[in-house]
Amino acid sequence: MSNKIKIGICGYGNLGRGVEAGIAHCPDMELVAVFTRRTSAFQTKSKVPVVHIDNANEWKSKVDVMVLCGGSANDLPVQGPALAKIFNTVDSFDTHAKIPEYFNAMDASAKSSGNISVISIGWDPGLFSLMRLYMGAVIPSGKTFTFWGKGVSQGHSDAIRGIDGVVNAIQYTIPSDSAMSRIRSGENPELTTREKHTRECFVVADNEADKGRIEKEIKEMPHYFDEYDTTVHFISEAELKANHGNLPHGGNVIHIGKTGDDNNQAIEFSLKLDSNPEFTSSVLLSYARAAYRLAEKGEQGARTIFEIAPILLSASSASKLTKDLL
């Protein structure tokens, strides 16, 4: 019997496949099964069993932590509380406005069964949120700015794909270098939405479609594009596949504040990710380790990233970390 942490994955999209790939980098973990809502059979890359989610209860004693890889809009609000009754869980629930409600649902489920559920883990929410807390705690008289990109926004890409005559599309969110420079210089500017980010769209249109109309519909789309300076490029499906197939992303959290009489102190955290889903998966796995350890200590209920001591994330011992990293 292996003493590795036994991981289950629920949902086998980009994120689930990223978790599967990430486990190969964690010698203290092993993947035991993938759980799915799908009824048609499929095989996973690592050839672990594929189990229908309705039969999850049969795996209760065989999975230490279930990594929930469903979507925040429809999957997690249902799957999360249901699976937290069976397993310790970790997820990347990212609908900011609904996090308090989701926390309460997960907390009730996890407590009812004596499990631990670590919610809203990833890079934003997740590491960026964590950095906002550290920065604000250390320099309380300061202001935190967040920039996203350059990277693909799935939501904005989907919104373009919904326009009549559009075959496919990828949208990049691009942070303004000049806005970031102004902040770093200590200027503390009031920035409009338009000044912080621009949007660049690569669109494959139907041969018949009116490109002028598509471009206008994109640029004027409420909430998604109307408050931004947006550039639209029409390209072929072949070019889209060749040059825009990855899902890069990243961003910067910048905190500027003063101490003493008038000394500027600047703290910055940034990510530059070739693969957004693989990075999110890696963060999920480090918090799966924390969930396992909290459960071992007998803790119960939901936790956010703020409540997890950093040492719980590392596979190394306290004395090794003190010696090597402190």
Instruction: Give the residues lining the site for a copy of itself (CB under 8 A).
Output: 18, 21-22, 25-26, 96, 99-100, 103, 120, 125, 127, 129-130, 132-134, 136-141, 184, 246, 250, 259-261, 263-275, 278-279, 281-283, 286, 289, 304-311, 313-315, 318-319, 321-323, 325-326
**Residue 238 vs 318, nearer CB to a copy of itself:** 318
In the complex, the smallest distance separating the C-beta of residue 168 from a copy of itself, rounded to whole angstroms, is: 22
Instruction: Give the CB-side neighbour count of residue 290, counting CA atoms within 13 A.
Output: 25
For the chain, state the CA radius of gyration. 22
Question: What's the min distance (Å) between Cβ of 42 and a copy of itself?
Answer: 19
Minimum distance of a copy of itself from residue 130's CB (angstroms): 6
Instruction: In whole angstroms, give the CA distance from residue 179 to residue 161.
Output: 30
Task: Report the distance separating Cα 98 and Cα 91, nearest Å.
Answer: 14
Residue 218, H or E segment: helix 211-219
* CB-count exposure of residue 73 (10 Å: 0-12, 13-18, 19+): exposed
How far apart are CB 271 and a copy of itself at their closest, in Å? Answer: 6
Nearer to a copy of itself, 168 or 314 (CB): 314
Q: Are 146 and 133 in contact (CB under 8 A)?
A: no
Nearest CB to a copy of itself, comparing residues 57 and 322: 322
**Amino acid in the structure at residue 148:** W
Nearer Cβ to a copy of itself (154/304): 304
Of residues 128 and 172, the one with the C-beta less far from a copy of itself? 128
Q: CB of 106: closest distance to a copy of itself in angstroms?
A: 12
Rounded Cα distance, 326 and 322, in Å? 5
- Toward a copy of itself, which CB reaches closer, 167 or 267? 267
Enumerate the β-bridge partners of residue 9: 34, 67
Cβ proximity of 10 and 44 under 8 Å: no
Report the nearest approach of a copy of itself to the CB of residue 132 (Å): 5
The closest of 215, 217, 179, 222 to 197, measured between CA atoms, is 179
